[in-house]
Structure 1
Amino acid sequence: MTSLALALRRINDRLAILVGLILLACVAFTLIEIIARRLGGSLGGVDEISGYVMAVTTSWGISYALTEQAHVRIDLLRQRLVPMGRAVFDTISLACLAGTAIVVAWRGWGVLEKTLSTGARANTPLETPLWLPQSLWWAGWVWFALSACVLLASVLVSFLNSDYETVDAVAGAKGEA
Structure 2
Amino acid sequence: MAPHAQTLAAPVMKITGVLRAANRIVALACGVALLVAVAMILMEVAGRRWPWLRIGGADELSGYVMAGLATWGFAYALVERAHVRIDLLYVKLTAPGRAWLDIVAMASVAFVAVLVAYYAYDVLGKSLARGSRSNTPLAIQLWIPQAIWFAGWVWLAVTSTVLLACVLLMTFVRRWAQVADLAGVTSETGEAV
Whether these two folds match at TM > 0.5 is: yes
Query: Per-residue displacement from partner, 1:20-50 (whole Å, max 9, x unpaired)?
Result: 0110011111111111121245321011001
Residue number among 172, 179, 184 corresponding to 1:172 in the alignment: 184
The ranges of structure 1 where at least 4 consecutive aligned residues each deviate by more than 4 angstroms after the TM superposition are none
TM-score with structure 2 setting the length: 0.89
What percent of counterpart residues are identical? Answer: 44
How far residue 89 of structure 1 moved from its aligned partner, in angstroms, is 0.4
Q: Runs of 5+ in structure 1 lacking a partner?
A: none
Residue number among 7, 24, 34 corresponding to 1:23 in the alignment: 34
TM-score with structure 1 setting the length: 0.97
- 2:78 equivalent in structure 1: 66
Residue number among 68, 81, 86 corresponding to 2:93 in the alignment: 81
Q: Runs of 5+ in structure 2 lacking a partner?
A: 1-11
* RMSD, aligned α-carbons: 1.2
Is it true that 1:108 corresponds to 2:120 in the alignment?
yes
Residue number among 145, 161, 172 corresponding to 2:157 in the alignment: 145
What count of residue pairs does the alignment treat as equivalent? 177
How far residue 67 of structure 1 moved from its aligned partner, in angstroms, is 0.4
Q: Which has the higher contact order (CA 8 A, sep 6+)?
A: 1
SS of residue paired to 1:32: helix
SS of residue paired to 2:97: helix
Q: Which amino acid aligns with 1:79?
A: V
- 1:160 equivalent in structure 2: 172
